[in-house]
Amino acid sequence: MAYSLMIHGGAGAIRAPERFSGSLKHIVEAGADMLASGAGALDAVARCVSMLEDDPLYNAGCGAVLNADGAAYCDASIMDGRDLSAGAVAGVRGPRNPVLLARLVMEKTPHVFMVGAGAERLGREHGLVFENEAYFATPERLAQLARAKARHETSLDHAATAHGKLGTVGAVARDQAGNLAAATSTGGLVNQMSGRVGDSPVIGAGVYADNASCAISCTGVGEQFLRTALARTAAFFVESQGMDAEAAAREAVAYLVRRVDGSGGLIVVDRNGRCGAARSTPGLLMASARDGRITVGDAGPPAA
């Protein structure tokens, strides 16, 4: 069976999207190489999201945005479409790769969702790499927080930042055995209230994977994706309405806009290996690989 892989680096009004092309291409190629040599979808999405987290261009891991207290709190999730097993963390400080901590929750505990200090302890017990404050609080992120505070605002997406270096990250894949997986990771919103959690770590909102339908990763204003359970909604369109990835992505964004005037986008790989993406924002940073063909680019015109 042919493999399929998509990654995203966030949605918004992206200034100079070409700045991201090299990074997106490099990361999707790394994931494609894994899938081409027989790796599972779960390993490929974990690797791609880890690489996106390690790149300070994106709002996840290194480069995560700072909350109102000046701290970077990360949220991440991962899901295995074979048996609907899933792991997620929210409000964690320090792990270099929050997606790997989410995977530990899935594989090493009987739980799905862990937060804060308990989740961090799990990571330390399993030897995950932790970084100090300075790794996250880059001079650029500190300046961005100061600007947001001066304007008394919470920056929602790429559109709200002068520097446009924001955006949740994610990956979805189907491996050569036909198994699906998805992962999402974020630093949340600039200047968000301490304790705020968005959609990214919530199964069915910011992430979903089921071999019976598709794998999905979302990006956008988390509250709107939570209220519409958007990832599960997109899976429903594939599972029960017979849509392919492209139609389901478009239909999900249309629903997001119609019901909550939502801002963001999503990437989808369906059970047949088709790739789809849609957005209501002016841009969505993304790249895909399907059986050796690499595409770096946008999701076409906004769906609504």
Q: Which residues bind ligand GLY (CB under 6 A)?
A: 10-12, 59, 157, 166-168, 186, 188-189, 198-200, 219-222
Q: Is 168 a catalytic residue?
A: yes
Nearer to ligand GLY, 123 or 222 (CB): 222
CB of 165 to ligand GLY, least distance (A): 10
CB of 281 to ligand GLY, least distance (A): 8
Nearer to ligand GLY, 11 or 277 (CB): 11
CB of 157 to ligand GLY, least distance (A): 4
Other beta carbons within 10 angstroms of residue 59's beta carbon come to 31
b or e along 149-175 (b: 16 or more beta carbons within 10 Å of the residue's beta carbon)?
A: eeeeebbbbbbbbeebbbbbbbbbbbb
Judge contact between 35 and 173, C-beta under 8 A.
Answer: yes
d(CA 80, CA 251): 24
Strand ranges (DSSP E) for 100-144? 113-115
H or E element, residue 10: strand 4-12
Q: Residues 168, 184, 219, 281: which is the catalytic one?
A: 168
Sheet holding 169-174, edge to edge: 113-115, 85-92, 74-80, 180-186, 169-174, 4-12, 283-290, 293-297
CB of 41 to ligand GLY, least distance (A): 22
Judge contact between 248 and 240, C-beta under 8 A.
Answer: no
CB of 155 to ligand GLY, least distance (A): 7
Nearer to ligand GLY, 224 or 288 (CB): 224
| CA proximity to 207, closest of 65, 111, 112, 91 | 112
Nearer to ligand GLY, 86 or 207 (CB): 207
Please, what is the Cα angle at 249 between 225 and 189, to 5 degrees? 30
Nearer to ligand GLY, 200 or 288 (CB): 200
Would you please indicate which residues are annotated as catalytic (active-site) residues? Answer: 168
